[in-house]
Amino acid sequence: MNVLDVMRTGPVIPVIAIEDLAHAVSLAKALVAGGVRVLEVTLRTAVGLDSIRAIAREVPDAIVGVGTLTRPEEFAKALEAGARFGVSPGLTPSMIEAAHQTGLPLLPGVMTPSDVIAARLAGFQQLKLFPAQQAGGIGMLKALGGPFPDVMFCPTGGVSVDNAPDFLALPNVACVGGSWLVPKAAAVAGDWGKITALAKEASALKPR
C-alpha cells in the first residue's frame, strides 16, 4: 500500500495516543467496527510501539501506521513492529533518509510553501498539513493548490467532525486527520461503544 492508497481508504485518519497497552486491541477493534480501518498510533506514549505490534498481530482488518515520527531511528522500529505507513509532524534530512532506507511509506508534515517544496524534492507528493487550522485551514489549502496542483494533503490539527466536510470538499484534500474519534475519557473508561459510534460518524463523512 502506498500513502495515497492509505489516504483514500476512508475520509478520516484517527490520531491515536494509547496510554494502556491492554486497551490497544479493543480500541482498534472498536474503530474498525465503525468502519475506520486506517489507524495512526502515535509514539507520544510509552506503549505506542507495542500497541502497533499488538494491533498488527491481532486486528487483521486494521491498517495500522505509526504517528508522531520525529527521529530517524523510529522508522525501522515501527516497521519491525508492523506499521504499514508513517506520519510525521514535520520533515528533516535525516528523516528523509530513514524513510528512503527503510521503505516505510511516509506522510510527512508541512506548514509552509518552502516545506512543501523540500518535501516534494525529496519525493513526497502526499503531505500532512500540520497544524492545519493554525496554518490557515481552508484558505491555506486553497492557496497551496495554486503553486502545487500535484500535491494532495491530509489536513490535521484542529479538524473536527463539524469542519471536516469543508476540508474534504477541497480538490487537494484526500482525507483529514484528527484525534476526536478517540476521546481520552472514553479510552480510559474502555467505552468502546462510544468509540465505534464516533468512528461510524467519521467514516460516513462526505464533502459538504
What residues act catalytically?
A: 40, 128
CB of 178 to ligand 3PG, least distance (A): 4
Contact 83, 106 (CB under 8 A): no
Residue with cell 522500529: 77
Residue with cell 480538490: 171
Q: Which is nearer to ligand 3PG, 158 or 165 (CB)?
A: 158
First to last CA, the chain: 28
DSSP 3-state of 145: helix
CB of 177 to ligand 3PG, least distance (A): 5
CA atoms of 193 and 171, how far apart (whole Å) = 33
Q: Which residues bind ligand 3PG (CB under 6 A)?
A: 15, 130, 156-159, 177-180
CA atoms of 80 and 74, how far apart (whole Å) = 10
